[in-house]
Amino acid sequence: MNCNKPFRLSAITIAMMTLLSQAQAQVASNPDTNAATTATAAPGKADEVQQVVVTGNARNGGQRKIDASYSITTANEEQLKQAAPSSTADLLKIVPGIYAESSGGNAGANIGVRGFPIDGDAPFVTIQMNGSPLFPPPTLSFLEGSSLFRIDDTIERVEVLRGGPSPIFSNGQPGATMNFLLKKGRDVAEGSLRATVGTGNLRRIDGYYSGKIADGWYGSIGGFYRVAQGVRDGQYPADQGGQITTSVTRKLDQGELTFYARTVNDKNTFYTGVPLISASSAGGKPTAFPGFDPLTGSLYSNELRNVALEVGPGQVLNKDLANGRGLQANLFGVDFSQSINGWNISNKLNHFSGDAPTLAIFTGNSPVSMSSYINSAISSANGQANVVAAAGGKQAVSGTATYLNGGAAVAGDQQVMSAGIWSVEKKLSSFTDELRISKEIVKDHTFTAGLYYADYSSKDMWYLGNSVLMTATANARPINVQLNNGVIVSGNGHDGASFYTLNENFSAQNTAFYLADEWKINDRIRVDAGVRTENRRLNGVISNPKSVDLDNNPLTLYNNSASVLSGSNTPVDRSDNEVSYTLGGNYKVSENFSLFARLNSGFALPQFDTIRDNGVNAPVTKVKQYEIGLKSVSEYFSAYLTFFHNTFTGLPFQQFLADGRNVNAIGGSSGSGLEFEVAARPVKNFQISLSGAYQKSKYENYGTNTGNEVKRQPKLQFRLSPSYRIPFDNGDIKLYGTYTHVDARFADAENQQSLPKYYTLDAGILVGLGDNLEFRLVGTNLTNQLGLTEGNSRVIGSGSSVVFARPIFGRAIEASVLYRF
């Protein structure tokens, strides 16, 4: 990287100077003085009354959630476990206004925020650890932020901020910021071991330990390891790997310094669409394709697992699909805060590096019978003069199909399909640093100045396509096809080579400066404003592909038109300067009831892939948001309501089609809606909560799609969650469940591929015995509902009677035992 040295050293220099100056200082007898982690409810009040949040505000100690003039959802360790997320993205189901498609597995989610229009991935969601972004761009092609994070027992809580002042702080994310806060060591040592088993032969171990190292010094270590065949059985482990996280904290006089590190080595299968029979009427649900269970079926198989990809003349790339869409990465961070004579200083930095590859099956066109496939191949081959000439002038009149493994003949009525083995190698590196200084310079005005710097890069090697002819069945089998004139349509299972080969190296440096002012007008009214100016310098090199016949043999159709590197490259150099701002206010009606309003204007700079696809002059996406909300908390009831409206301009759109074409467009949108989080506690030990959002968003200035609904996001989604605690001598039992409703959506901007509404039912039981033992049993999608989260994103329009879509996972059960010590 090319980090600016002053930025690189800012946190370490300030922290170490303060640490040395206080080496002999008296450390407070209670180490847990951070307001964000020790606030407790007053007697007779709900626990959340005094809950403090640190995300989205400039205060070192944070502020009460109910006093924050923006929308933020929080979840503690128990709430994280109760949600039973299948991945980091799946946890976002507890956040109103966010719709996460986590049906692809542990990585590669699509996440929409408040009707923000997206093509896929998660361009408006930033993942943070301890307030620092893991990787500054929230999305690149074949990468979204949640894929870089794994949840385990080292997490104390998560805070998810939507809109609000987020365009000002950190990396200036205008959408949602998901901030995971690590546990820290305390005076009293604590530890836990948790063993989990579940559907798909899941086996997982989690561990955590923390405590006091020396006077003023505290440490923690934890992590997990798991292996799982997967709810969708691909005949080999879908998920295998784990991570370790450590931290060391030094308590200072009026401050704190924490060093933390994480290493991850995880492999995850990535699932795309499966074949379905389309609904016979509008709004109806597709049904299962014959012989393929959409809830548990997977195209992956041992016969497909090890693939040989021809990537150039005489060049073969051997790949193992078990490596999937995984992560091998290391993260190191420093979190420092200090108060000195009324000046509050904080600095957060981290360094992330690693590999985030994608090796997966990507589906395309609809299945056909083996006979129809051969007939189409005959027609295509006979229509190519060079192929007929290479066959001695003989045209094909028939063909044979055999299984690659064993050589048995494939029946003519067997349904078959071509699906690509896409290989993407992605090496990532980033360094971020954010320095904040705040002080009440003028009475009742607390001014904050901040400096943010990021240096990040991505080095990619893509081979897209590499289609394999396979049976349209669970655990598909590859097929070879040869015509009677010597033409080989499918060789070694492949009926196509790479249609898009790319080698690109990008790097960028962002420097931002912001000012914020919080004005306490009186005990009831508080307003805040902020402005941010940001500069980004981006440069890169993009390869120029060419099409060749890999073996110079026209008779081998499967590699006659392969995309390979040409040896020439296109340099890219671009500089951006943008300004964002926010203005908000909070009116405290009573101690635990407040109203707020806010407007902000933010932006999303075109990232590496957007510039590659739309040119160096790709527009900046501009986002304006308006919010009005209320927050009320009492012993028996709590409510968080936010009305929002947003507008977009300069929105890029990208779509890879099954034939290799890449469709790009620029447009905009607008949307309005209501987010709600309410809970009632009518009697002791019982709570019922309702959270969700209603929104309507439409495309604007989007060509023929103007006025259409923004794709992939439901108008209405909600979660109804009751829970009941039954105390008994030396323990208690907690029963809980969740009913989730997701409205109908469209899979495409054309509003032709309808995704029907669906619901799921989850339930769990938690049994605590004394202070040490805890047993948990949880089930998700207990009624085996067929819910679709994605249509065939590589086909524009409604398609045929047989379609591809990606269903949610079928019923899954997990059981765990936790021992605390």
DSSP secondary structure letter of residue 15: H
What was the pLDDT predicted at 11?
42
Query: Which range has the worst mean pLDDT, 14-28, 49-63, 78-92, 404-418?
Result: 14-28
Contact 803, 287 (CB under 8 A): no
675 has a pLDDT exceeding 70: yes
d(CA 526, CA 519): 6
What was the pLDDT predicted at 662?
66
Smallest CA-to-CA distance from 572 within 536, 607, 539, 617 is with 539
Collect all residues with Cβ–Cβ distance below 8 Å to 72 and sequence separation of at least 6: 53, 55, 56, 65, 159, 160, 161, 162, 164
DSSP secondary structure letter of residue 478: B
9 has a pLDDT exceeding 60: no
What was the pLDDT predicted at 47?
64
What was the pLDDT predicted at 807?
94
Query: Which range has the worst mean pLDDT, 9-23, 109-123, 221-235, 708-722?
Result: 9-23
For the chain, give the percent of residues with pLDDT over 70.
Answer: 91
d(CA 805, CA 808): 10
What was the pLDDT predicted at 790?
84
DSSP secondary structure letter of residue 491: B
Query: Which range has the worst mean pLDDT, 28-42, 74-88, 800-814?
Result: 28-42
For the beta carbon of residue 316, count every other beta carbon within 10 angstroms: 13
Q: Output Rg (C-alpha) for the chain, integer angstroms.
A: 28
Residue with tokens 């709600």: 676
What was the pLDDT predicted at 242?
97
> Across residues 202-208, what is the average pLDDT?
98
The three-state DSSP-derived secondary structure of 341-366 is CCEEEEEEEEEEEEECCEEEEEECCC
Smallest CA-to-CA distance from 224 within 265, 258, 179 is with 265
| φ, ψ dihedrals at 651, nearest 5° | -90, 115
> Across residues 611-631, what is the average pLDDT?
93
271 has a pLDDT exceeding 50: yes
pLDDT band at 184 (very low <50, low <70, confident <90, very high): very high
pLDDT band at 803 (very low <50, low <70, confident <90, very high): confident
What was the pLDDT predicted at 280?
67
What pLDDT digit, counting tens, does each position of 448-485 carry?
999 999 999 999 999 999 999 999 999 999 999 999 99
What does the block give as tokens for 45? Answer: 């009040």
Query: Which range has the worst mean pLDDT, 115-124, 339-348, 653-662?
Result: 653-662
What was the pLDDT predicted at 244?
98
Query: Which range has the worst mean pLDDT, 478-482, 672-676, 697-701?
Result: 697-701
What was the pLDDT predicted at 796?
53
What are the C-alpha distances in Å from 112 to residues 143, 301, 369, 468, 686? Answer: 15, 31, 37, 32, 32
Tell me the average pLDDT of the chain.
90
Smallest CA-to-CA distance from 213 within 458, 409, 31, 359 is with 31
What was the pLDDT predicted at 753?
83
- DSSP β-ladder status, 445-465 and 467-471: unpaired
d(CA 54, CA 65): 9
Half-sphere exposure of 500 (CA within 13 A, CB side): 17
> Across residues 546-553, what is the average pLDDT?
96
> Across residues 9-38, what is the average pLDDT?
39
What pLDDT digit, counting tens, does each position of 391-431 carry?
999 999 999 999 999 999 999 999 999 999 999 999 999 99
Structural element, H or E, at residue 764: strand 758-769
Look at phi and psi of residue 650 and say left if phi exceeds 0, alpha if psi is from -120 to 50, else beta.
Answer: left
What was the pLDDT predicted at 283?
62
2 has a pLDDT exceeding 60: no
**Which structural domains are found in the chain, ordered by start?**
5-370+418-820 (2.40.170.20)
DSSP secondary structure letter of residue 278: P
What does the block give as tokens for 528? Answer: 């805040």
DSSP secondary structure letter of residue 236: S
**Please, which residues bridge with residue 764 across strands?**
736, 778
What was the pLDDT predicted at 704?
80
Residues 415, 418, 422: CA angle, nearest 5 degrees = 145
CA–centroid distance for 713 within its chain: 15
d(CA 54, CA 207): 26
For the chain, give the percent of residues with pLDDT over 90.
Answer: 81
What was the pLDDT predicted at 118?
87
What does the block give as tokens for 243? Answer: 């991570």
Class of residue 444 by CB neighbours under 10 A (exposed 0-12, middle 13-18, buried 19+): exposed
Most confident of 100-104, 752-756, 798-802: 100-104
pLDDT band at 37 (very low <50, low <70, confident <90, very high): very low
> Across residues 219-239, what is the average pLDDT?
96
Contact 108, 325 (CB under 8 A): yes
Residues present in the chain in total: 821
Contact 327, 357 (CB under 8 A): no
Smallest CA-to-CA distance from 718 within 751, 684, 749, 688 is with 688
43 has a pLDDT exceeding 60: no
Total-model pTM: 0.91
Query: Which range has the worst mean pLDDT, 150-154, 176-180, 312-316, 687-691?
Result: 312-316
Collect all residues with Cβ–Cβ distance below 8 Å to 412 and sequence separation of at least 6: 369, 370, 371, 374
What pLDDT digit, counting tens, does each position of 753-798 carry?
888 999 999 999 999 999 999 999 999 999 999 999 987 655 555 4
What pLDDT digit, counting tens, does each position of 368-398 carry?
999 999 999 999 999 999 999 999 999 999 9
638 has a pLDDT exceeding 80: yes
7 has a pLDDT exceeding 50: no
